Amino acid sequence: MALPAYMPIADAADKYGYDLDELKKMAQSGKINAAVLPGGDVVVSEDSVKEKTRKEDLPEFKQFSLLAGNSIWLSEAERKYDVSTPTLSRWVKAGYISRIGLEGNRVLLNEQDVAYCAEIYKKRGGQGKRIFAEDGTPYKPKTAPLAE
């Protein structure tokens, strides 16, 4: 049986994009596993922090909070964010981008989701590369230059 890996709470906040105070509240409420070392330092279980990470909590997503609730047409999103329609359609199908509805023949998307996905795509993109994990957070490879 493998023992859980613990890390300092400040390091976990940096690594997983949490506000330190938010992570402390999660530890105090029991939402994540945490412990206090004899010196008073707080450590958290890396696995429990990973499980609680949502794309909505990431700074890359929060930077587009002004776009929350805005709708954008699929073709307009292609032009504005310079991402191809097939790529955007795949992201909608995978659930990374919320489909708000239809307006005539136009597919309406959540612009905050589109902006977030385009941002991650431009940082990590490249044909054939995995960009997102199943939950919509940026994919973190276990090896290679992007591994942490």
The tokens for 136 are 């919509």
Instruction: Tell me the average pLDDT across 80-87.
Output: 94
Beta-carbon count within 10 A of 132 CB:
18
The model's pLDDT over 3-45, given as tens digits with 9 standing for 90+, comes to: 788 999 999 888 876 778 888 888 888 888 999 999 989 999 9
78 close to 121: Cβ distance less than 8 angstroms: no
70 close to 28: Cβ distance less than 8 angstroms: no
CATH number of 54-148: 1.10.1660
pLDDT band of 147, cuts 50, 70, 90: very low
